[in-house]
Amino acid sequence: MSYILKRMPELPEVETIVSALRDGHSKYRTSVIGLEIRDAMVLWPKTLAAPSENEFKERILGRTITGLSRRGKFLVFSLTLDQLLIHLRMSGDLRMEGATDESGNQKAFEKHDRLALNFTEGSRLVFNDTRKFGRVWLTADAEEVTGGLGPEPLDENFTPEQFHQMLISRGRQLKPLLMDQTFLAGLGNIYADEALHLAKLHPLTNTNTITPIQSKKLLEAIRAVLNEGIRRNGASIDWVYRGGDFQNYFRVYGRTGEPCPVCGTPIDRLVVGQRGTHICPNCQSLH
């Protein structure tokens, strides 16, 4: 089975992009760490969430990228002053390329390019976003943008006990809560489905009924599917992200009517919180 997905990049896809840009592998070829920004080109002003276009261009001039990390689904570029955040949303992508062609002229931009950072050594980082949902922030403190996010599920300091208390205090349907970025950062539709199947929990389970053992198994399942997604460079997404092959190893997502890998029962599709949801009705019965 091999297919391309149509949905927003989740934690493993963003982590894969961060790793490739930071370490200079895959399609990016060179690391962005240590590159000095000569100037910025804003090709679609609404891509900037903050500050204004003029202030953005002025503040980012001459800054050097000193680090790159991920918070939830945000890419966080640390600069010598300020931090640059990018959220890819539904169709955003980043590419590194030479800023000039063989004749030394500025290389033409592609149709859906929205913003570019030109570096003093001759390369540029381009943000391409077909559907125009992606956003860019330049801020003195990344927490001004990411402060409302929930814990990172892969954080070693995030304990099963904390997770259980968070679950039972909410009293919501399980899957919509897991996808709420203020509850848990980075989890989206696909990895939520995969984790719930691995943990044998129904997505409509009320979270205040979950036991400590169930919540521990769920956190372990979330971490397992996210780590496997990262190991496989994420799951390829339509025309935007084609870097990984985790889509070929899904347990339930997108497999409606196919046999459950555990018990053989046909996978069912239902709608939970307005999102297509895939379960095994036998392994994930709603008690």
**What is the rounded distance in angstroms from the CA atom of residue 55 to the CA atom of residue 78?**
18
Catalytic residue (one of 89, 95, 200, 275): 275
Whether 9 is catalytic? yes
Distances, alpha carbon 236 to alpha carbons 13, 44, 75, 110, 249, in Å: 8, 26, 18, 21, 12
Instruction: Compute and round to an integer the Cα radius of gyration of the chain.
Output: 20
Whether 73 is catalytic? yes
Whether 275 is catalytic? yes
For residue 94, the one-letter residue type is L
> Tokens 């300091």, residue?
157
Distances, alpha carbon 67 to alpha carbons 19, 38, 117, 142, 223, in Å: 11, 17, 16, 13, 25
**What is the rounded distance in angstroms from the CA atom of residue 139 to the CA atom of residue 186?**
21
Catalytic residue (one of 70, 73, 135, 255): 73
Whether 13 is catalytic? no
Catalytic residue (one of 10, 13, 15, 194): 10
Catalytic residue (one of 7, 9, 12, 124): 9
Which active-site residues does the annotation give? 9-10, 73, 275
